[in-house]
Amino acid sequence: MPKALFVEIEAKAGAEAEITGFLHGALATAESEPDTRDWYALRFDDSHFAVFDTFDGNLGRLKHLAGGIGRSLVVKSMSSLNGLPDITSSELVAARLPAGDAPTHRALYVPIETRLGQGRDFGEFLVEARGLVEAEPGTVAWYALRSGPNSFAIVGFFADEAAREAHLQGAVAQGLARQVGRFLDTMPEMRHADVLASKRSGWDRISSAAQQVHPEQSVRIAPKTA
pLDDT of 99 reads 74
Per-residue pLDDT tens for 33-63? 989 999 999 999 999 999 999 998 899 999 9
Mean pLDDT value across the chain: 88
- Which pTM value belongs to this model? 0.88
pLDDT of 141 reads 93
Q: Which amino acid does the sequence have at 115?
A: R
pLDDT of 103 reads 85
Neighbour tally for 65: CB within 10 Å: 17
Query: Is the pLDDT at 207 greater than 70, yes or no?
Result: no
Domain 3-222 CATH class label: alpha beta
- Per-domain residue ranges of the chain: 3-222
Neighbour tally for 179: CB within 10 Å: 18
Query: Is the pLDDT at 215 greater than 60, yes or no?
Result: no
